[in-house]
Structure 1
């Protein structure tokens, strides 16, 4: 592959993607490619400032906001969450992961803030989606691909969650996704602010992330991409959400797991803050120790193995994966970030000082990275001459 533009253009030309934006920053050098269109009709060309639903790339942002509250003394890692989430004061867990949802025992210890940040609270997706206690996460909590218009308000959502048993005892296993949504509710209750206002005040405004939010205002809809999924084996794409759809108004449940809209440059600003150990131009968002905690693997080998469907051997920090020793070219030990089910990815590579962002409009068909993501990461990890 000769350059980033060519890599993305090949995927647009073969019909895999309507468009894409890729960004690779190596120190002060920033390479950006915007290719294709905002939609399959070619209504407008893709641009560097095009807006995308970033889905689970939201998770590291929610984790960073949590760390600001910990630094301010409003929370601590060992705080039992029941202080702010009384619905979880006495959770029940299924006797074994394969037990029916009504075969339960009490949780053997309280759920803590650390459990939520590391995805070890007992709620979430395992590698086996057929387990009985997993079904209610989809049917009742509306977990899965983000659809903000279908989710209850935070108080009602928490009441539903309280009726669903833990799949594992707190601290036992890594389970995907749900903990970030619980964390979003906790942050709002701990501060008395809505999650959109809290993230804007504590993360977006300091870092200059002007386009990152839970909804796109009318004046920016012309920059908002449409969202698609594969319609079948023939390669056709079907529309899931248009610019004036579910992200055109702030949802009743702002998802800390996957609700944000953003741009490549906003995610670059967030990544550069992490690489600078919490500092940004003109100030500091986080202490270096907070960034270190976010970007350090907290899992045991057994927990990484149990989460293999999602992690592919990676570790997990706070809100994002942490690469450990691997052989793939893009897996530099210490690389931190995550991917989004709407076809997005954002990482920082402390060893090389790189930030990588890939934004597409095509939903992933499963929890593992897409071919274009892997191609992009290989490109980003290849030294430029």
Structure 2
């Protein structure tokens, strides 16, 4: 398999001018995403400036290394800034084209890829995963029971129904993350199978081939019966393997051909080539919130498998284009990658009353209820309940290293926040950024 070619970057573009200050400028043309003054699209330039003020304070206090933030409204960029350090140890300033490990923000990209194959007629959401990956036929489920002595024991029973593609997309497959699950035998099995090295390399299974990944995971019992419980997991890693089996192409190649190239997402992929490694953002060596040594993925070398759940790299510019495509109903720059009906399906509630969620997606992401899950995104159920500003129908996701994005169709907003800060307080910065965007609405 030839090495995946990542596209080159483009030219410089100026940003916005206010009466007393110049808004941060973009170092590269954003193609069809034109710039506008905030007032032209119903936002306040002064209030948007509070985003920079607050992030500068957090960075000066040593809580964050740096960040890139971008906001678009009504199809135009109204705010863009690179703050702090790309690599604080080397005193390298953050730049708008800095590249970030996006971890779980890879999942929406891969979910879109899967839906492309649904539109092609190659995959159906109700297909059993075993149609594409036979090893996942006849799975076992690890069931907990509590004895009279109060001790919990686990027994394996056959899965009542097969895992479907829809289950992978909405995290109801019964798969797990070793870092999250409370099922101790399954947690131990994931660690033994090298899907995680807790405290060393979180969410890292790049050092095994796709075939090895499938074979190892299929031997591990599920933590829930399929289609019964929402629990965040390695489901999208397996979805990536199903995409490869159904398309006959490596996941990186499929995404390059069908998503990244059409949308001019020239810095997105699964590793950073040597020609771009100087743009890779780095975390602080020690997390100031926990006091623990920071460990992140090594993305300088081509992985043995393209991790659809946590292996991606991207820039704020690229991800803003992806978000704008979603807001536009599947189209950007005159190029359509998905239909409007498919975007609607992906951003609808796919849990309902049939799939339980003791821990809601919004609680995992932002520390607040109010969100259900669609196909690749958390979806807001109403204007209220959630402890952050927003609108019913907005959708979002985030990444372990602190990255975050959301799309609000009602307000026509796309927000992207990129940093490398895998800290337990990362939800605080997501909520802060989101609130500071909404308080800048002036129409």
TM-score (norm 2): 0.79
Compute the displacement of 1:173 (Å).
0.6
Q: Which has the higher helix share?
A: 1
**Is the aligned partner of 1:140 residue 2:193?**
yes
Counterparts of 1:97 and 1:71, CA distance in 2: 42
The 10-residue stretch of structure 1 (370-379 or 140-149) with the greater mean CA deviation from structure 2: 140-149
CA RMSD of aligned residues (A): 2.3
Q: How does 1:240-259 map to 2 (within 5 A)?
A: 240-241=295-296, 246-259=298-311
Q: Counterpart in 2 of 1:206?
A: 262
Distance 1:221 1:175, change over 3 A: same
Quote how far apart the aligned CAs of 1:22 are: 0.9
* Mapped partners of 1:351, 1:121: distance in 2: 31
**Residue 33 of structure 2: aligned partner:** none
Distance change in 2, residues 1:237/1:194 (3 Å): same
* Distance (Å, rounded) in 2 between the aligned partners of 1:351 and 1:321: 16
Report if aligned partners of 2:64, 2:284 keep a CA contact under 8 Å in 1.
Answer: no
Q: Do the aligned residues in 1 keep the contact of 2:394 with 2:407 (CA within 8 Å)?
A: yes
Query: How far apart in 1 are the matches of 2:315 and 2:61?
Result: 24
1:231: how far off?
4.4
1:18 corresponds to: 65
* Offset at residue 297 of structure 1 (A): 1.7
What is the distance in 2 between the residues matched to 1:322 and 1:137?
Answer: 29
Deviation string, structure 1 residues 290-344 (Cα, Å, up to 9, x no partner): 1011111211356233446526421111111111222434242211110101110
User: Does the 8 Å contact 1:218/1:248 carry over to 2?
Assistant: yes
Q: 1:248 to 1:88 in 2, by over 3 A?
A: same
Q: Which structure has the greater CA radius of gyration?
A: 2
Q: Across the two proteins, how many residue pairs are aligned to each other?
A: 377
Question: Displacement, 1:352?
Answer: 0.6
Q: Counterpart of 1:304 in 2: which secondary structure?
A: coil
Q: CA deviation at 1:364?
A: 2.9
Pick one of 300, 310, 314 that aligns with 1:262: 314
Q: 1:346 aligns with which of 391, 402, 405?
A: 405
Counterparts in 2 of 1:134 and 1:307: CA distance versus 1, 3 Å: farther
Q: Are residues 236 and 178 of structure 1, via their aligned partners in 2, closer, same or farther at CA, if it must alter by over 3 Å?
A: closer
Match 1:334 to one of 380, 386, 393: 393
Q: Contact between 1:81 and 1:112, CA under 8 Å: does it hold in 2? A: yes
Match of 2:24 in 1: none
The gaps in structure 2 that reach 5 residues or longer are 1-46, 147-151
Which residue, 239, 243, 254 being the options, matches 1:183?
239
* 2:364 corresponding residue in structure 1: 310
Distance 1:300 1:97 in 2: 27
